[in-house]
Structure 1
Amino acid sequence: MTITRFLTRALAAVPLIGGLLAAPQANALEIMASHYGALLNTAPIAVALERGDYKKNGVDVTDVMSSVGGGTGIRNMVGGGLGYGIVSTSTALAGIRQGMDIRIVHTAIRRVDDLLWVTRPDSGVSSVKDLVGRKVGITAPKSSSELMVVMAFEAAGFPGKADIVALGSVGSGLSALEQGGVDAALILEPLYSARKDRYNVAFSLENLPSMTPTVGVATGDFMRKSPDQLRGLLAAWRSAVNFIYENPEEAAKMVAKRYGDTLPVDVATTSMKRMAAIKYWSQGDFDMDGLNIWVKGMERMGEWSGPVDWSKVLDDSFLAADLRK
């Protein structure tokens, strides 16, 4: 299976990735992670598993349930009795607003630079300015991809000048681009690193501020009954992120091994080195500016209204002392 087919399937279904470690022991635990095995947002989990970071911190992670994100993923997590997962910030906030007994216990991603918009090599497009009044593909209305296009055009000084077209999956968008249906289409890592020779970058999101699109959440029950395991999970995440930043090539081999032969080592290496260079992953500490920027974006897309009472949403007590603010 090619990486393109793998990502297309991963973004359109909710697979269960099991049997990652040996038989369960006293502290055996299953966790949930958005897009694990497909995208790089949860790659530190693969690194932590391969390095034994979880066991070093007193947790035996035996399974990782992979979700395509959205409300279904977090409902599956809570309904399936899982105490911890990594989900989009939007999903976490929506779940808390709906009354789910969960809290955000750490941040996971601090940048959105894994998203790029690409164009055909013969298009003559190399910037936002070149796309003014032209068709720019997104996945769906009110999606994070629409928000990123809006923000990118604003940052470049051309607010409201994109002709935004909803195309469905990333694969559908790239097909539309190749057939001339749009002038720029969304692509994500690691697919970009696998296909970068086929496209030119129309624009990236490197000029946007740091923001927090992905977080770690825990259920109230898990927080009360298994506080040491939760601390271990967060410590392992931090250890894995630090290892990635210090050893991106070695980390890439670990991610490729855990993700399977659908993510070749050379692609993993290119994409992981790119993400490490921009400090894509968070150690877990709460960046309030980044969180508030994301919420403002949700408001713009009609997905949120009013201020967030962060005291009822965040719990930093399971983070290492030096990460608490």
Structure 2
Amino acid sequence: MSLSFVFTLRPMVAAGALLTAFATPALAEQIVVSNYGVSANGMPFAVAMEKGFFKEEGADVTGILSSAGGGTTLRNMLAGDAPYAEVNPNAVFAALQKGADIKIVSDNVLTVAEFVWAVKPDSPIHSPKDLTGRKIGYTNPRSTSQALATLVLQAGDLKPHDAELVKTGGFGEGIPALDMGLIDVAPIPEPLWSKYKTKYRPIAKASELLPPIANVVGVAAGDASPEKAAFISAVIRARRKAVDYMKAHPDESATIIAQVYNLDPAVARSAVENLVGATTAGLPYWGSGQIHMEGLTRAVDVQKMVGALSGDVDVKGAVDTRYLPDDIKAIK
């Protein structure tokens, strides 16, 4: 994301202009978060809103809009002129390939640790090695769940054709499909897993099985005004503060999330505790915003596996770190 006028000035003047941009009071704006109120990725935003972290950091966030998918989230952001959105990276790269003027400005969820693949208690399946000839559920073609199902098979030294992947249309829909025997294995992400964990048995956990894969990222349009630039930076700082708060105060955070997500408090508490404590190759589930290039590159590779992306993808060129706090500006 570039402020083009900055680069036409001499260095000292440009630096002053940039500082002025970020010192400008932030606007009152909405932000867009994919599957907010449903999926675990957006939980820190609920905490940031309830605890007043947005206002503390200088962003008057008037509301958080939810969208059902990455492409929808980006369209809502651009159509509504929202300064910031949280979305899955494959939607970002697909939009960039079509010429969209957007940038990845924060790396929000660094792993897919919310995923568990589960079976009925009496199932003979105990690990990915037992999946030969079995039916594995996934949500929709070219989805993350389809790509991850392929990785689970690989973890069991199996090929994609060794099992049958069955579209269920959604994670919630996968539960009755498992009950009725339409599939043998269902992907159950948090907070659904915390709701159903006493009913089913896990045969694979992403946090233990899969490497860090960029899950959702913060995105902004490439032509942010000085006011919107200040707002974006403040949103990133507030979300980071919420992630830290969730680690220090998981019970209170779970109470907030239970209200926003309409969850049983025990389910919310279990989900928060599971994800706050989850690490994958040393990386947490909810990140600070700092960019991890390896995870982003791996996300691209995973999406190419299922045909969601093709051709050359300029991962590094998609990233703009100017909105990040100085201590996390460096790309890892």
Asked if TM exceeds 0.5, the reply is: yes
- Give CA deviations for 1:288-313 in whole Å, capped at 9, x if unaligned: 11001011111111122233223431
- 1:126 CA drift (Å): 2.0
* TM superposition shift of 1:40: 1.1
User: Which aligned pairs between 1:165-204 and structure 2 lie closer than 5 A?
Assistant: 165-204=166-205
Could you list the per-position Cα deviations for residues 118-173 of structure 1 after superposition, in whole angstroms to 9, with x for gaps in the alignment? 11111122211222221111112221111101111212322332221112122222
2:141 paired with 1:141: yes
Deviates most, 82-91 or 304-313: 304-313
CA contact (8 A) 1:103 1:313 kept: yes
| Aligned equivalent of 1:108 | 108
Q: What CA distance in whole angstroms lies between the structure 2 residues aligned with 1:317 and 1:75?
A: 23
Counterpart of 2:196, as a letter, is R
Give me the TM-score of the superposition, normalised by structure 2: 0.86
Match of 1:252 in 2: 254
User: Alignment partner of 1:210: what SS?
Assistant: coil
**Aligned equivalents of 2:225 and 2:239: distance in 1?**
17
Task: Quote the residue 1:302 is aligned against.
Answer: 307
- Residue 121 of structure 2 corresponds to 121
Cα distance per residue 1:22-79 (max 9 Å; x no partner):
xxx9731110001111111010000111111101111111111100113122112111
Give the C-alpha shift of residue 110 in structure 1. 0.8
Partner residue, 1:266: 266
3-state SS, counterpart of residue 30 of structure 2: strand
Q: Deviations over 1:83-114 (max 9, x none)?
A: 11101101111122222221110011111121
Which residue does the alignment assign to 2:217? Answer: 215
The 3 A distance-change label for structure 1 pair 288 and 57 is same
State the match for 2:22 in structure 1: none
Structure 1: distance between partners of 2:156 and 2:130: 11
- The CA distance in 2 between the partners of 1:132 and 1:311, in whole Å, is 38
8 Å contact kept, 1:115–1:187: yes
Q: Cα offset for 1:221?
A: 3.1
Q: Which runs of 5+ in 1 are unaligned?
A: 1-24
For 1:2-21, list aligned pairs within 5 A.
none
Change in 2 beyond 3 A, CA 1:250/1:201: same
Partner of residue 298 from structure 2, selected from 287, 293, 300: 293
**Higher Rg:** 2
CA distance in 2, matches of 1:87, 1:241: 17
Supply the AA of the counterpart residue of 1:315. Answer: D
Decide which moves more: 235-244 or 162-171. Answer: 162-171
2-structure distance, mates of 1:26, 1:320 = 16
Structure 1 length-normalised TM: 0.88
Asked if the contact 1:137/1:182 (under 8 Å) is kept, the reply is yes
User: Secondary structure at 1:226's aligned position in 2?
Assistant: helix
The number of equivalent residue pairs is 299
Q: Does structure 1 residue 164 correspond to structure 2 residue 165? A: yes
> What do residues 246-274 of structure 1 show as CA deviations (whole Å, max 9, x unaligned)?
22222111211333xx2121110001000
Equivalent-residue separation in structure 2 for 1:306 and 1:223 (angstroms): 32
Partner of 1:319: 324
**What secondary structure is seen at the aligned counterpart in 2 of 1:32?**
strand
Question: 8 Å contact 1:223–1:230 — kept in the other structure?
Answer: no
**3-state SS of 1:198 partner:** coil
Quote the offset at 1:216 in angstroms: 0.4
Structure 2 stretches lacking a partner, 5+ long: 1-24, 279-283
CA distance in 1, matches of 2:113, 2:180: 26
- Provide the aligned C-alpha RMSD in A: 1.6
Counterparts of 1:249 and 1:313, CA distance in 2: 37
What displacement does 1:223 show? 5.2
The separation in 2 between residues aligned to 1:223 and 1:214, in whole angstroms, is 24
Contact 1:83 1:221 in 2 (8 A): no
**SS at the partner of 1:283?**
strand
| Structure 2 SS opposite 1:318 | coil
